[in-house]
Structure formats: C-alpha cells, structure tokens
Amino acid sequence: MKSKRIHERKERYATSSAIDLHPHYSVSEGDEIPGEYPFTRGIHRKMYRSRLWTMRQYAGFGSAAETNERFRFLLEKGQSGLSVAFDLPTQIGYDADHPLAEGEVGKVGVSICSLQDMEALFAGIPLNKVSTSMTINAPAAILLAMYIACGKRQGVEERELRGTVQNDILKEYIARGTYIFPPEPSMRLITDLMAHCQRHIPHWNTLSVSGYHIREAGSSAVQEVAFTLANAIAYVQAALAAGLKIDDFAPQISFFFNAHNHLWEEVAKFRAARRIWAKTMKERFAAKEPRSLMLRFHTQTGGSTLTAQQPENNVVRVTLQALAAILGGTQSLHTNSMDEALGLPTVKAAQIALRTQQILAHESGVADIVDPLGGSPLIETLTDQMERLAQEYIRQIDELGGSLSAIESGWLQNEILNHAYRTQRSVESGETLIVGVNAYQQEAEEVIPTLRSDPEFEQHQRSALAQLRAQRDTEKASATQDRLLKAAKSNENLMPFLIDCVEHYVTIGEICQTLRNVFGEFQAHEIH
C-alpha cells in the first residue's frame, strides 16, 4: 500500500524515541549556514526536508523498445527521473550499419540512430512530465536535437523540457575516449548548445561536467574534484569567449561525481567541491546570481569498486557509497546494481539498487538533517585539506595554460595513470584489502543470472535503418545536410540545423559524417 503522498516531506522530524530534530546543527555562532555562500553545507537551506534528491537509475540496452520497457518499470517502482545510457556506436557518431559498429550495437547502452529510435525510446512517456538525463558527449547536440523533435511530436514545447545532457568532451580526451571531433569544434558545439538552451529551454542543464569517469580511470578523490573543476573553468571561459553572459548560462551548469567506499573522504570531497566552485565563480568570474555560484551535482556509485567475486557484497558497497553522496548533499543519485561487474543489470538487481535509495530516504533518517556531519572536527579538517589540495592542482593546470593545454601535453592523463598504478600495486601487495578479491575469498562462487542483449538485434537495427532510408524523403533529407554543411563552415549556431536534420530523419551517422567533413577527427597523442 502506497502512502498518500510519498514524495512530500514530513511536518515533524524526530527520532524513534520522539526526540525532535532541528534542520541543522552548529557548533559555534559563526558556523556556515546551509543554503548560503560558499555552500559548503549544501545549496538549499532545508535540503532534503523540502525535497528529496532525484532518484535516477541509468538504463539502456539493445533496442529503444526494450529500454522503454525498463524506463516504464523503473517509473512504476518510484524512480523520479530517467537516465539514458547509449551504446558505443551512438556515442562516437556511427550508425548501426557502419563497419566500425559491428559487434557493439546495443551492447552497453541503447542504440539510437535516428529520430525513429528516439520516438520508440520515449513512447508513452510524456516529456513534459519527466526529467531526462542523457549521458552523451561528442554528439550531445544531435541527441538533444532528437529529444526536442521527439517532444514536438508529443505536443511538448521546447521550454517545457527538463533534463541534462552531459556534453563534457574534455573528460573524453582525458579518461574515456568517446570523442569524435578535435577540441576547438567540439567546444563550439558545446557553446552552440548552451546558447540555444538559454534562449529556448530555460530548465535544461546544458553541461554536466563529469568527474565520474576521471575517478573510474583511476584518479584520487582530490584529482576528481580538481580536474573536474578545471574542466568546468575551461567551459566557462569558452562560453564567455562565445559572447554568453556568466549569469545567463552558469545556473544551468551541473556536475557529475563518483562515490567510492571511504565514507569520510567522499563526504568531505562533495563539501569541498561546492566551496571551491562558489569561490571560483564569485572571485574569478564575478558571477552575481546566487544560482551561478551553486554547485549542483548528480552522483553515481563507483562502478570500478564493484567485484565479480561475491557480487552480493556489492549491495553493501553501493549502500555505503549512496550514503556518502546523501551526507555530502547530492541533488540526484544513481545506485549501481550488484551484477554490473558481470553484465547488464537484471530487473531484480535494478530494483534492489532503487530500493537502496528509497530505504535510505525513508527509513534511515539521513534526509532529516541538513549536512549531518557538519561541525565534526574530522569532516571539517578533511574538507579543508581537500579544498587546499584541489586548489593546488587547479593552480598547476592554470600555469600549464588551462585544461586544454594540460590535456594536449598529456600531463593530466599521466597524473591519473600514476595514481591508478599506485592503487593497483597497493591491492596486489595486500596493503589495500578488497573483500572477496584479496581477502575473505570463497572457493565456490554462486553463479547469479545476468542479462544479455539479443544477439539478433544488430541485424534488426541494420534492417530498420535500410527501411528508414528507403521511406524518408531523400531529397529533403539531403537538403538539410547541405544546409548543415554550409552552417558548419560559418559561425552560425548549429542547433537549428541539427533539429532540421533529425526532423527529416537524417541519421546520427550521416550528421556526424557531414560535420567530420568540415571539422575533421581527433587523433589521440601517445601518453608516456
């Protein structure tokens, strides 16, 4: 039986012994107040007392129709926002029938080749009623164009759309590798998207600067904060150079962080990141609007911490990491499923991951207090040290000429690789213990069921593409590509041309090839 208004917060907050709880606690009169600059203690005065964090479960596999089923299932189970995972061909701008896509179609995310797939992905899900996060970078502007077109077909105006595109290309050069174009035109696509959303989609987060993948690549918590914020500084500088005003675009920049197992370090990391960003925006960029100074962030629990050995242990790891994110003041949260070290999450594992968030929200009491650990000598000291060390890294990056120069020289990548090497050596030597891996092993491991995508799907998707190209108006589709090509050679904002293309069912591969013809492709430098 559901409670009458499960997402509405309580009127009275107390322990099970009827001891009243205040919204927040201070050690001394001069302590920082939640919701006030520099936001160390949270960006809202009441935090989760007024509204719980958004519970998102990252999902996407195989066909758009299959992923749509998973979305509907999660929404029915109480999820409050959608988060889309795309397959590798989509991420690097290839259609399912491209030779380089062979064997990867629908494997690590949903395959989206055209507006036809996007319409199937959100069939029966009104886009003016949900917030959608799309983890997409190099072709982010194209996927947003498809989302806009999909909304139009539902009768939803652009200004009604709510959500986020990751749109963070710098971390692709650093840590992940799903880039397409060189840095300069990539930054143009980012600022074109920001400018379009500023005018037409005011509630859309145009950039989610990601530390998650930097941490997954092996960085420390300090490096995660420092390199993420250094990248964000580069985006702000690019937007200003493109003629945008700081208080017009800064409120729509969000962040995406990882949560690992060391509870105290992770909580301090989130608090320090908020403080650094607030100071950076106020002192370095002279932002005036309070929302421009607020670091709003999504958290995902640490995928690299999950083990294939004794996978049930991952439920405990994820709970600990989710707790750190909540104590640190996250705005939205994805909890990994216990079986993700083995394959795509099963329905049961995904439900357990979502239930983990709901138990923390409604049974643990952690949502009742704003910044519960604030004032702790341990947490305050760690927060100060995290801030100091991260600021030192940012200073070094500035001296190298900024993030782009640090990436092009390989300095930033080498910093991550060196830390990853030291971490692996620590595990192999037994200095760092991982339960079930180098401590408390079991000889006989229980085999748990895993989800596998349909091996026939790739051929189905190729056939659907052939049918789409045969049925669309070829002359109009070709004309939109010609207009896009001409615009790419000029200084015009590319978003209207991308929307025009996708509405005429030009595919992501065709659009990216048109842009490759103008921008070229990025070639990675060898890192030593």
pLDDT band at 453 (very low <50, low <70, confident <90, very high): low
Distances, alpha carbon 520 to alpha carbons 17, 69, 134, 195, 200, in Å: 66, 38, 25, 23, 29
| 3-class secondary structure, 217 | coil
User: Does residue 59 have a pLDDT over 80?
Assistant: no
The confidence score (pLDDT) of residue 451 equals 67
User: Does residue 421 have a pLDDT over 90?
Assistant: yes
Q: Give the best-scoring range by mean pLDDT among 103-112, 276-285, 434-443.
A: 276-285
Give the mean pLDDT of 362-371.
95
Taking the model in full, what pTM does it have?
0.92
Residue with tokens 């107390």: 14
User: Does residue 4 have a pLDDT over 80?
Assistant: no
pLDDT band at 2 (very low <50, low <70, confident <90, very high): very low
In whole angstroms, give the CA distance from residue 361 to residue 369.
11
The predicted-structure confidence for 148-190, as pLDDT tens digits, reads as follows 999 999 999 999 999 999 999 999 999 989 999 999 999 999 9
In whole angstroms, give the CA distance from residue 352 to residue 359.
10
What share of the chain has pLDDT > 70, as a percent? Answer: 97
> 512, 521 in Cβ contact below 8 A?
no
The predicted-structure confidence for 208-257, as pLDDT tens digits, reads as follows 999 999 999 999 999 999 999 999 999 999 999 999 999 999 999 999 99
CA 74, chain centre distance (Å)? 18
User: Does residue 7 have a pLDDT over 80?
Assistant: no
> 208, 254 in Cβ contact below 8 A?
yes
In whole angstroms, give the CA distance from residue 280 to residue 229.
9
User: Does residue 294 have a pLDDT over 50?
Assistant: yes
In the chain, what are the helix, strand and coil shares in percent, each to the nearest 5? 50, 10, 40
The confidence score (pLDDT) of residue 112 equals 97
Distances, alpha carbon 155 to alpha carbons 127, 159, 207, in Å: 9, 12, 25
The confidence score (pLDDT) of residue 367 equals 95
The confidence score (pLDDT) of residue 527 equals 54
pLDDT band at 3 (very low <50, low <70, confident <90, very high): very low
The confidence score (pLDDT) of residue 1 equals 32
User: Does residue 24 have a pLDDT over 70?
Assistant: yes
Give the mean pLDDT of 315-330.
98
pLDDT band at 5 (very low <50, low <70, confident <90, very high): very low
Q: Which residue segments constitute the domains of the chain, with CATH numbers given? A: 47-429 (3.20.20.240)
User: Does residue 528 have a pLDDT over 70?
Assistant: no
Question: Bridge-partner residues for 210, per DSSP?
Answer: 256
Give the mean pLDDT of 488-511.
98
User: Does residue 29 have a pLDDT over 90?
Assistant: no
The predicted-structure confidence for 128-143, as pLDDT tens digits, reads as follows 999 999 999 999 999 9
Q: Minimal CA–CA distance to 137: which of 104, 197, 90, 105?
A: 90
The confidence score (pLDDT) of residue 334 equals 94
User: Does residue 46 have a pLDDT over 70?
Assistant: yes
The confidence score (pLDDT) of residue 170 equals 96
Average pLDDT, the chain: 93
pLDDT band at 435 (very low <50, low <70, confident <90, very high): very high
